[in-house]
Amino acid sequence: MNFPDLRVGIVGSGGMGQTHAAAWRELGVQLFAYSPRGAQNLVDDFGATACDSVEALLASCDVLDVCSPTPTHPELITAGIDAGVAIICEKPLALTALEAEQISARASAAGVPLYPAHVVRFFPEYLQAKQSVDAGAIGQVSLARFSRVGEFPSWAPWFADEQRSGGVVLDLMIHDFDAATWISGPVTRVYAVRSPAIVGSSVTSAQVILTHASGAISSVTGIWGAPGTPFSTTFSLVGTTGAIQHDSRHEAQPGSSSESPSGSVASEDPYLTQLREFVQGIRGELVPRVSAADGVIAVRIARAALESIASGQPVELAEADQAHPVA
């Protein structure tokens, strides 16, 4: 399914911008691009038309695809809302829960579609696990474990500044906070610990325990390791009548990255599946499996984890905020 009449504008020409551009090319859209440092790579590699400002990009597109560093997300989303274009935004929606809530509410009030790119929901291992749980194949989930490990993203200096990236918790582990809530439902309590900083090292790890309203417990581990650390993801879901496991180290294909857990069951690039579904949602053909509300919830959980790390205490979350979040 291609969309030759659709005009898509990407902001950001780094790794995620290139990943999205490759998927958009497969979908046959008219592609435009802007980056403060230049978007010539998207022009050369994916046939995009370069724009010299965000304003020029918005004037040229029907869909804004935000693939720029996290601190820029709220401002760009707001510009997209004001321009009346549909918006896709790489996770997280924002650095704080309040910002995420505000931009989500503003998009909803304006009638502008806003989809956070929580791509893990589109990886077949996670989708199959979700479908199995929903079908009752393992009974009621009582315990879930998720891990996500990779080398520190040294290719972009802003990742090292937690005030700009949110660190390993908000940038990396948010994937599994979203997966955990998707599979086991709303989270009512968050408790987190993080390894102490080591002078001269970017290696960091964190462990977060999520208590779900259902009574299930999810344990989430995230590691930004030393250079050359192989990327891997795992999950284990234990239910009252069975269990489901995934370990990308046993299924890995060449070329996986910190955003892309490879698996042998993949039949299509999940980024391609995700963007196609978002376009169909924008056109009213279906309801995408990810909503702006889901993006808000993921940020809330990540911020609660950071608060717990700082205080050494668990943080309570209102179930109602997740059942009916700002959307």
Torsion angles phi and psi, residue 122, rounded to 5: -100, -5
> Which two three-digit tokens encode residue 205?
């790890």
> Which two three-digit tokens encode residue 36?
């403060």
CA distance 99 to 58: 22
CA distance 3 to 218: 39
Which pLDDT score is estimated for 257? 39
Helix (H) or strand (E) holding 103: helix 97-110
Which amino acid, one-letter code, is at 32?
A: F
Q: In this model, does residue 17 exceed pLDDT 90?
A: yes
Residues 250-260, mean pLDDT to the nearest whole number:
49
Per-residue confidence band for 260, with pLDDT thresholds at 50, 70 and 90: very low
- 168-203 pLDDT tens trace: 999 999 999 999 999 999 999 999 999 987 767 788
Residue with the two structure tokens 């274009």: 85
Judged on CB neighbours under 10 Å (0-12, 13-18, 19+), 5 is: exposed
Taking alpha carbons only, the member of 54, 58, 66 closest to residue 114 is: 66
CA distance 34 to 55: 10
Which pLDDT score is estimated for 321? 55
Which pLDDT score is estimated for 238? 98
Average pLDDT, the chain: 92
Which pLDDT score is estimated for 164? 87
Which amino acid, one-letter code, is at 203?
A: V
List the domains of the chain with CATH numbers. 7-119 (3.40.50.720), 120-267+291-323 (3.30.360.10)
DSSP secondary structure letter of residue 260 = B
Residues 241-247, mean pLDDT to the nearest whole number:
98
Task: List beta partners, residue 74.
Answer: none
Q: Which residue has the higher pLDDT, 79 or 327?
A: 79
Q: Which residue has the higher pLDDT, 324 or 164?
A: 164
- 225-241 pLDDT tens trace: 999 999 999 999 999 99
**Cα distances (Å, whole numbers) of residue 97 to 92, 103, 191, 295, 315:** 10, 10, 17, 10, 14
Judged on CB neighbours under 10 Å (0-12, 13-18, 19+), 70 is: buried
Which pLDDT score is estimated for 326? 37
Residue with the two structure tokens 């435009």: 32
CA distance 162 to 158: 8
CA distance 61 to 9: 5
Q: In this model, does residue 254 exceed pLDDT 80?
A: no
Q: In this model, does residue 323 exceed pLDDT 50?
A: no
Residues 198-215, mean pLDDT to the nearest whole number:
90
Q: In this model, does residue 253 exceed pLDDT 50?
A: no
On whether the CB atoms of residues 61 and 54 are closer than 8 A, the answer is no
Per-residue confidence band for 258, with pLDDT thresholds at 50, 70 and 90: very low
On whether the CB atoms of residues 206 and 192 are closer than 8 A, the answer is yes
CA distance 101 to 126: 26
DSSP secondary structure letter of residue 63 = E
